Amino acid sequence: MSGLEYQEGRTELETLGEFALIDRLTDGFEIHRSSTIKGVGDDCAVLGEGEEKTLLTMNTLAEGVDFDMMYTPLKHLGYKAVSVAISNVAAMNGTPTQVEVSLSVSNRYSVEALDELYAGIRLCCERYDVDLVGGNIGSSRSGMVISVTAVGKAKKAEIAYRSGAKIHDLICVSGDLGSAYSGLLILEREKVTYQANPNFQPDLDSYDYVLERYLKPEPRFDIVKSLREKGVVPTSMIDVSDGLASELLHVCKDSNCGCEIYEERIPIDYQTTRVCSEMNKNMLPVSNALNGGGDYELLFTIDQCDYEKVKDMEGVHIIGHITEKGMPAVMVTPQNTTITLVAQGFKAMDR
C-alpha cells in the first residue's frame, strides 16, 4: 500500500499546529536511558549523567518552504542555517559547542555555489565559537535541503525549560518582533515586480534592517550572557521562531498556566510599522509580531524577585505576566479589550 493511500478519515496537516503534530507522532515513545533527562517537547533534548548537561537539537531548512533562492544569497543561507539551529541552545539558557551539517542538493548547484554556502556556515561557527564536526552531503531531485544538528552545554541548575513558568512570573522578550516577517514581505513584493518586469531594479536600501533580520538572524546569546552575569535563571524560555502567540501558547501548555500580555509593551521596530503601512493600510504591526515568526528572539519568564535585575537590561522588554492554571493566553489592547491568542497551524509552504 502506498504511503499516501490512507484516505479514509484523513486529517490534513494544516489542521494541527507544528507541536500538536509532533505530540501526535511521538505519543507512546518511552524513555529507556537514564541519561535522557529531557526528550521530545522542548527546544533541545537534555542528556547526560553529571551536573553539566549536553543539549542536542536539529533544524531543517528546505528550498521553496523556508527559503527562496531568487532573493537568498547562499552565504547568508549558510549563516542562517547554523544560526537558527544554535538559537535552540540559547532557548535552553545554554552555550553552543558543535554542529553537524547535512545537505541534500540537486545538480542545479555548482561546487562554487556550495563553497559560498559553506563560507556562511564557517562565518557563523567562528562568530559563536562553534566547531563544525561532521555532516553528510546527498543528492536531491529538486532544490536544496539543509539540516543542522547542534550540540551545546549547560549546568543542570541553569537549564530553562518551557515547563517552568509559574503564576505571577513576569514575561520578557528580547529585541523586537515582526521585523523578520516584514523583511520577507518586502522580498516577496520585489520578486513579484521583477517577475512581471525583469528589467526592474529593486531599491532595498531603506529596508536594510528588516531584510537582515530575515536573511541573517542572530541567536541571542548576548541575552543569555547578560542574564547569567546578573545571576538570573529564567523560569522558562523559548526562542521566537514561529511568532509570539505560538511561543506563548507553547509555554502556557507546557507550564500548565495562562498568560496576559499588553499590546503596547510588545517591542516593534519602526521599519516593521512602515512596511505594514506600505503593504496594506489595514495590516497591523502587532499581527506581524504575533504571527510572523523568524525573529529568533528569546521569550522567557522570570520570578518577580528578579524584576530589579532585569527591568533596565538593554534589549529586554517586560510585556506581561503568567496567570493561573485554567486561564487563557490573552493580549490586552490599549482600549482595554482582551484578545485570545491563537497559534498558526502547520503550513506545507511556510513563510
**Where in the chain are the domains?**
13-24+35-158, 162-340
| Beta-carbon count within 10 A of 80 CB | 28
pLDDT at 5: 56
262, burial (CB in 10 Å: exposed 0-12, middle 13-18, buried 19+): middle
User: Would you state the pLDDT for residue 3?
Assistant: 55
pLDDT of amino acid 95: 98
Q: What is the pLDDT of residue 10?
A: 81
pLDDT at 335: 95
Question: What pLDDT, in 10s, does the model give residues 65-111?
Answer: 999 999 999 999 999 999 999 999 999 999 999 999 999 999 999 99
The second-level CATH assignment, the architecture, of 162-340 is: Alpha-Beta Complex (3.90)
Looking at residue 300, what is its pLDDT? 98
Q: What is the pLDDT of residue 351?
A: 35
pLDDT for position 1: 46
Residue written as grid cell 555555489 = 113
The closest alpha carbon to 220, from 304, 318, 128, 98, belongs to 128
Question: Measuring CA to CA, how many Å separate 285 from each of 180, 231, 245, 290?
Answer: 12, 34, 14, 9
Position 219 scores a pLDDT of 98
Task: Provide CB contacts within 8 A for 92, sequence distance 6+.
Answer: 42, 43, 44, 46, 55, 152, 154, 159, 160, 161, 237
CATH of domain 13-24+35-158: 3.30.1330.10
Q: Which positions of the chain have pLDDT values less than 70?
A: 1-8, 17-19, 281, 344-351
Tens of pLDDT along 225-275?
999 999 999 999 999 999 999 999 999 999 999 999 999 999 999 999 999
